[in-house]
Amino acid sequence: MVNDAPIGVFDSGVGGLSVLREIRALLPAESLLYVADSGHVPYGEKSPEFIRQRCRSLAAFLLEQGAKALVLACNTATVAGVAELRELYPQLPIVGMEPAVKPAAAATRSGVVGVLATTGTLKSAKFAALLDRFASDVRVITQPCPGLVERIEGGELDSPATRALLQGWVAPLLAEGCDTLILGCTHYPFIKPLLRELVPESVSLIDTGAAVARQLQRLLAERELLAAGPAQDARFWSSGAPLRMQAVLPLLWGQAGEVQAL
């Protein structure tokens, strides 16, 4: 495996670009590949076996492109598929996501933590295990957010409809005394500015993108796979509508780019 080989990242859609931005910020010398499986978004309503099949397919594609490491930038995909991928590719650095229950439990002062997440994440056994392990001393209120991923996919980060949805989900959490909000989906960091308008400044907003980038850095360093640079331009694919993703890239990635059909 050569050090200047790229890092492969995939998600059910464009949400994982929030993680890709954290990787670029921490590891600017690394070349990046990104696949949005937007033809099957959202994963939250799909069966675990279907998601595992998509994980196998997307991982194989990224490895064909020469990826030296994989990042599953999706909580639902991680729950369903990361263990199998690690069995299939035992020598490959593979990093998954998980909701930030531990840091949220440590951060709360009121003892009440709110979780905004997809239905699939909230139903998962892994999420339940995280609560048992790290949140036994705090009250956790979960709030599924159906339809939010699709709005973010369409670039509706601060539309009146998105604002109304978020307000309806957040208000009950605040009424219960929540002072810490977990953003339990990689799409949700893109609506942080809108959330900041809807919740008091004293409420902490916690996601795991930066922690994932640090874990990736650790694994690459352990295997002496960190790149010296310079990085190649990031490459993008979508299993949905490439032009639709291309239109939101400047908004979500910070610069324009070409998106190829998967």
For the question of residue 185 being annotated catalytic, the response is yes
For the question of residue 145 being annotated catalytic, the response is no
Q: Measured between alpha carbons, how far is residue 230 from residues 26, 29, 31, 227, 234 in Å? A: 14, 5, 8, 8, 12
Catalytic residue among 55, 74, 145, 178: 74
**Nearest CA to 1 among 224, 201, 241?**
224
Catalytic residue among 55, 145, 178, 185: 185
Give the type of residue at 108.
T
State how far the Cα of 149 lies from the Cα of 86, in Å rounded to an integer: 27
Asked whether the beta carbons of 89 and 59 are under 8 A apart, the reply is: yes
Q: Measured between alpha carbons, how far is residue 26 from residues 136, 193, 216, 234 in Å? A: 33, 22, 10, 15
The residues annotated with a catalytic role in the active site are 74, 185
